[in-house]
Structure formats: structure tokens, C-alpha cells
Chains A and B, each alone.
Chain A
Amino acid sequence: MLELKNVYKTFNSGTSNEVPALCGVDLNIEEGSWVIVIGTNGSGKSTLLNAAAGSFPVDAGAIRLADHDVTRWPEHRRAEMIGRVFQNPFSGTAANMSIAENFALATRRGLRRGLGWALSAELKKNLRDRVKQLNLGLEDRLGNIIGSLSGGQRQALTLLMATWLKPKLLLLDEHTAALDPKSADQVIQLTDEIVSREKLTTLMVTHSMHQGANLGDRLIMMHRGRILHDFRGADKRRLRVNDLLARFEEVRRAEQLDETAADMLRLTYI
């Protein structure tokens, strides 16, 4: 479904702040697969998602999505196939517009937006039914400004908006990181429900080892813009939180070793 071939991306190229974010990433995600992405800070997890979404052009490599070469497609064109939930609960909704209006926008993702009435009676009815299933008690407040809701409520609604039209690919960028533990649990539960029920191809970045061990059917660990580990099938099912922590520790040790080794070489030869 999603295929990245030898993708490179460097930010602030040619300046002193040069950051190589993706260094030749190869990744192939099958249809219906739920892939968890973990990694250290600055390892390129979010960059990977943004590259797939088209937030910036990549420096080299190719991106294919649902049999289209989308490498040169702008973000809004890829949106036809992609549903997204951002880390910041404020990013996924238009704060000064009503809940219903936000959904009216989501129902036209990737479709032509003409002069049809945005808030049709049919949409309002569907919306009530589907929002009711969230059990947040929001179905009677659809006319309210969405900015008046809590982060958790907004994130749950954003998830529903992103999947209102079934996306070919769902991108979740640490979508529970900014929430309190209880809301985070609720949103994760909802994510699990929707992704499993709709069999959505999903790429989810998380900081939570717990989520990494318990969710999805494949896990990749990134470090310094490369994919370091790729667990799938039985390997993924066997993974526990401690295994993941051990992998991070390994990475940390390797880094330290590199530095001391470099220091030793410097002392010896300079």
C-alpha cells in the first residue's frame, strides 16, 4: 500500500544547522497492516510520516501510495488517500468553527468542494449517530465551537474526522502524547477500535513503549534517519515493553562507545 524507496531528507541543507532526518529509508507496508514507529528523539519518526503525507518534498527516493507514484504530489492532493491525526490536538481541527462544520470539512476530504450546502440535514443525522458512538456526550453539542472542547475530546473527534471517508493510509503522529493519561487511554482504545474494524493501513508514531508493545502487527525502530529494527509477525507478537527498552539501551551504549572510541583515537593520534 505504502512504499518508500531509498528516501533521503535533510533539513536546513547547506547551513550550520544541517539536520539529516531521513538517510535512505526503505519501507514497504502491506494493505491492512498497522505499523508502529518508535525511536529516539530526532530519529526521523515524524519526518517519515510527514514525507508520506507530503508535507515537504523529499531530496531523493520515491514514494508510492496505492499504486500511484506520489513523490511529486503536493500534500493536499495526497490527502485524498490519507487520513491524519497530529500530535497537537489543536492542529487537527479548526478551533473557531463548530463541531458540525469541522466534520462537514472532513466529509469532503480529497473531493471537489462545490457550492453545495456544507451542513446538510443528512450529514447532521449521520454525524449525531457516529459521534454518539464515541460516548463523549458530544452528540447534543454539535453546534458548539470545537475550540471549547478538551484536548482529548478534540483528538477523538479528529480521529473520527480522519477516518470518516475510509483512507487508504492513516497517519497517527504521537496523537496521544499531549493528552492526560486517561484521555490518552480513551483515544488509544478508540484508535484500536476504528483501525481494527475498518482494517485500515496505519502508520503510527509513538513515544509509549506500552503502546508499541501492545498495538499493531509490525513495529519499526528508527535511529538517526534509518530503520534499525523491523519486527513483524510472531516476532512482533512476542515483543514486550522490556524488550523495547533493551533495544533503546543498546542504541545508547553504541552511541557512547562511538564517542569514547573517537576520544581515544583523538588522544592517540593528535
Chain B
Amino acid sequence: MALLIGALTIGLILSLLALGVFITFRIFHFPDITADGSITFGAAICAVLLAKGVDPFLATAAAFAGGLLAGTVTGILNTYFKIQALLAGILVMTALYSVNLHVMGKSNVPLLSESTMGTYAERVGALVSGSAGDINLGGWLVSMRDISMLLMAFGMVALIGLGLYLFFRTHIGTAMRATGDNAQMIRALGANVEGMTVLGVAISNGLVALSGALLAQYQGFADVQMGIGMVVWGLASVIIGEALVGPGSLGLAFTGAVMGSVLFRLLVAIALRWGLDPNDLKLITAAFVFAALVLPRILARFEKKRGALKAVAGAQPESVLHA
């Protein structure tokens, strides 16, 4: 049970990363890998501030702001300095590695006795249930801290997801979506495409850093290595989400990204439980994304070939059109 709750919580926390990746990769068609650096950046800022005794909400907000800043730099490198999106992301990600070490002062900041958002959640949970001990959940004993943290993560993701959905349906949000869809058109309609792109990448990295801040508070430390491979992780979540909800409206796509992140984390937790070597995790994640990208194309080609064969046989000429 603890395993399940843990997986759900981490899945929800990382769904903010998935939402960030969704914004850059899917809405802006901007392959931004700054996320590998900004998730650690968010965790580092938050952990250091917490260690100094800053209020957890303030520290988390500061991490979000740090992510915004990192994304802004990537966006500006891409739009005003005309550096390819991938390279701009690599540059900022690499630079952030040093920045993160400076922020933390060492490679790992533990959060053992500091008051975090988890502490807050636990306190609220205890207040609601009337006791601070473990609670009985359908026969399973669950620690108050775990269940409070899960509920808090769920609440935050729901709130942020709704906020994003509403934002992308305002005038400026709609213009941002159009920027990724058809830059020529939205420029002719008077939108500053460069500005829109910078804003989009900034928001994306803000979310990623927020995810990092929550992750650090949940697992109790920030580590300079924790961001490695996170873009691929987010991308895997987005792809699973798309498979779950199919093509559809924006709200559905956001929901899908969150669901994808949770499901992916659950699958990973189960695989690890069954004895998967944790060292292989990144390799398997990368292989999974590769398969998800390539399989649809191979299947389509296969279908086409079959359709063509059928057509030659004269059985069903329409199948060529369907393929």
C-alpha cells in the first residue's frame, strides 16, 4: 500500500514535469531539454531556502520563479540569438549544472528536520482526521504523512492543470497555441511570435522547476544529479497520456499528460518491485520512447502494404484509402 501511495504521489508530482514537456514539445513544437537542468534548479532553490528556514510555500514559489528564469534564457537564446531550440536547451541545461552546484554549495542538500510542504500537509491531515498517527484505509494502515502528501499533490496538480487550461483559452493563451501551430499566420495577425515562444518556454520550465521543488520536499533531499533523463521521462508520460485519451481537446490532453505520468510511475514501481535493476531504468525509458515514436510509423507502413496487396488481389480496393 505504501508502495502504491508513494508511486501515485511521485507520479502526480512529476505530472507537472509532464505538463511542462507537453507545453514545449506539443504546443510549441519546441524540443526543449532545459528541463533536465531546471528540475534540479527548482529542487536546489527550494531545498536551500528550506534549510535556511524560509516558509515552504515561499520556497516553492521561488523555485517556480527560478524555472521561469531558466526557460526565459532558453527562449531568448532561441528567438533573439537564433540558436536552434535543441542547442539552446543544451546550453542552458549545461550551464545550470554549475549554477545548481553554486546554489546548493555541495552536490546534495538533505531536508531531514526542515519544515516542508509535507509537514504542512501532515498537520492539516492530522487536524482533519483528529489524530496524527496512522490511519486505517480499507484494512491497510497508512501513515498520515503519506496520505496527506498524496492529497496535497493531487490538489496542486488539479489546481495547476485547471489554471493552465483556462490560461490557454484566453486571448494570449490562444495566441500562444497558434504560435506553435502556424507562426506565419499569427505574426500576420500581429502577435510577437518571439515573445510568445519565450513566454511559453518560461512557463514550461517554471512548471518543471515546481515539480523539482515538490520532489525534493517529498523525497527529503535535492541532488545535483536528479535531473538526468527527466525530459525523456516527461516525454514518455506525454506519449502514454496521448495513447490513453487519444487526440482531442486541450483539457483532455492535459488530463492525459497527468494520467500518463501517474501510470508510468506505477508501471516503473511495479517493475522495480519485480526485480528490475534500477540502473536499467533510464535505458528502458529511452527504449520505450523510441518504440512509441517509431511503432506507429511501422504499423502504418505495414497496414499500407497489406492494403495494397488486397487491392492488387481486387478484394477490397477501398482499403488503400483507409491505410
Tell me whether A113 is interfacial, beta carbon within 8 Å: yes
For B185, list chain A residues within 8 Å (CB).
91-94, 105
Contact string against B for A residues 19-48, beta-carbon threshold 8 Å, 1 for contact and 0 otherwise: 000000000000000000000000000000
* Contact between chains at A97 and B193 (CB < 8 Å): no
Closest Cβ of chain B to A119, distance in Å, is 7
Tell me whether B220 is interfacial, beta carbon within 8 Å: no
> Known: A76-B191, A111-B190. Is A94-B178 also a contact (CB below 8 A)?
yes
Report the separation of the CA atoms of residues A108 and B188 in the bound assembly, to the nearest whole angstrom: 11
Tell me whether B52 is interfacial, beta carbon within 8 Å: no
For A86, list chain B residues within 8 Å (CB).
184, 188
- The residue in chain B whose Cβ has the minimal distance to the Cβ of A75 is B187
Report the separation of the CA atoms of residues A114 and B172 in the bound assembly, to the nearest whole angstrom: 6
Tell me whether A109 is interfacial, beta carbon within 8 Å: yes
Q: Which of A92, A96, A108 contacts B175 (CB 8 A)?
A: A108
- Chain A residues near B (Cβ < 8 Å): 53, 74-77, 79-80, 82, 84, 86, 90-97, 101-102, 104-106, 108-111, 113-119, 161
- The residue in chain A whose Cβ has the minimal distance to the Cβ of B176 is A113
For A79, list chain B residues within 8 Å (CB).
187-190
| Interface CB pairs A-B, < 8 A, 12 | A75-B188, A76-B190, A93-B182, A94-B181, A97-B181, A105-B178, A105-B186, A113-B171, A115-B172, A118-B169, A118-B173, A118-B174
Report the separation of the CA atoms of residues A119 and B193 in the bound assembly, to the nearest whole angstrom: 21
Tell me whether B192 is interfacial, beta carbon within 8 Å: yes
Report the separation of the CA atoms of residues A113 and B172 in the bound assembly, to the nearest whole angstrom: 5
* Contact between chains at A97 and B178 (CB < 8 Å): yes
A-contacting residues, B177-230, CB 8 Å:
177-178, 181-182, 184-193
Most buried by A among B182, B190, B191: B190
Tell me whether B113 is interfacial, beta carbon within 8 Å: no
For B178, list chain A residues within 8 Å (CB).
94, 97, 101-102, 105
For B173, list chain A residues within 8 Å (CB).
118
> Known: A79-B187, A95-B182. Is A113-B175 also a contact (CB below 8 A)?
yes
Report the separation of the CA atoms of residues A101 and B175 in the bound assembly, to the nearest whole angstrom: 9
* Contact between chains at A115 and B188 (CB < 8 Å): no
* Contact between chains at A76 and B192 (CB < 8 Å): yes
Most buried by A among B169, B172, B174, B178: B174
* Contact between chains at A80 and B171 (CB < 8 Å): no
Closest Cβ of chain A to B183, distance in Å, is 10
Report the separation of the CA atoms of residues A19 and B187 in the bound assembly, to the nearest whole angstrom: 25
* Contact between chains at B182 and A53 (CB < 8 Å): no
Tell me whether B279 is interfacial, beta carbon within 8 Å: no
Tell me whether B170 is interfacial, beta carbon within 8 Å: yes
* Contact between chains at A80 and B190 (CB < 8 Å): yes
- The residue in chain B whose Cβ has the minimal distance to the Cβ of A107 is B171
Report the separation of the CA atoms of residues A97 and B250 in the bound assembly, to the nearest whole angstrom: 10
Closest Cβ of chain B to A134, distance in Å, is 19
* Contact between chains at A116 and B171 (CB < 8 Å): yes
